[in-house]
Amino acid sequence: MKKIFDQLSSMQFTTAILAVLMLWFTWGVLLAESDTFSHGFKVMNSHLVPGWFSPPGRLSFLLKLWFTGLCSIMVVLGINLVFCSWTKILKTIRNKLVTPKLVMLVIHVVFGLVALGHFGSFVLGYRYENVTLQEGQAFTLPEGYAVTVKDIHFEDDMKLLYQPPKERTPGAFHPEANFCEVALTLNGSAVTRGRAYFLRPFTCNDIQVTLKRFTPPKGMKNGDHRAQKPGVRLIISKNPVKLFVFILFPVMIAGIGVYMVMTWRPRRNFSKSPATSQ
């Protein structure tokens, strides 16, 4: 049994798992770049795991196999993490308190929690992609919440809404000046309201409203702008572990930095100088 534990906690086993993980990610990149499976990866990016296995976002068997394999590799890496922490770090600390080993143990634990948090973000909460709303319209969420678009502020030329982002001239669109104001309600009672900009979502109670794009006004034809306002396309999601991961990830990076400083050894020059050799 001890031999098995030693193998599960060995650095060679860790290196082999990481090599397989890199190859698995490379395979995933190739699948994502192919015309056959690119749409499936878009579904994976816009839905949580339960939506991958049910219509209309049902994935192909190969993508399910890839994701299942990825989860299996991470489970094996987690087993290696536990045994490595127990046999090579924790026992050393119990025999003699070694500060670098203690820091490495903290890094191992935080890494495991970050990995669990990332997995939790795939299955917990909800995510609604491409929610198209006009001013005054609302979108109902679970648990009695609802998001209402109170105001849409668009200062640029409406003709931009008909152009793909890649075809717009630089400086024609001003993301910092265009936004939508949304209100969050719970069972009909106001909770809060705020603005959602590009790359600056509105957040409250783990609920995030992301402004994806503006849509042309309804009834707008042949460039007839008149006084109509555009609509908005939103991404509304709830990720209860997002803050947990955002806090732990910099802690892990800082821990790695502290460990490198504590274990740094300047390179010694063993070559003799000419004066010494004489």
Q: What is the pLDDT of residues 18-43, one digit of tens each?
A: 999 999 999 999 999 998 998 888 88
Write out pLDDT tens, residues 119-178: 888 888 888 988 999 999 999 999 899 999 999 999 888 888 887 777 777 777 888 889
Cα separation, 162 vs 160, in Å, equals 5
Neighbour-count burial of 180, counting CB atoms closer than 10 A to its CB (0-12 exposed, 13-18 middle, 19+ buried): buried
Which carries the bigger pLDDT value, residue 136 or residue 269?
136
Contact residues for 145 (Cβ-Cβ < 8 A; gap 6+):
184, 185, 186, 191, 205, 207
Is 195 exposed, middle or buried (CB count within 10 Å of its CB: 0-12, 13-18, 19+)? middle
Q: How far apart are CA 275 and CA 271, in angstroms?
A: 12
3-state SS of the chain: helix, strand, coil percent to 5? Answer: 50, 20, 30
For residue 195, which phi and psi values (nearest 5 degrees)? Answer: -110, 145
Query: What are 42's two structure tokens?
Result: 């878009």
| pTM for this prediction | 0.70
Burial 24-45 (b: 16+ CB within 10 A, else e): eeeebeebbeeeebeebbebbe
Question: How does pLDDT run across 88-131, given as a tens digit for each residue?
Answer: 666 666 666 667 777 888 888 898 899 898 888 888 888 898 89
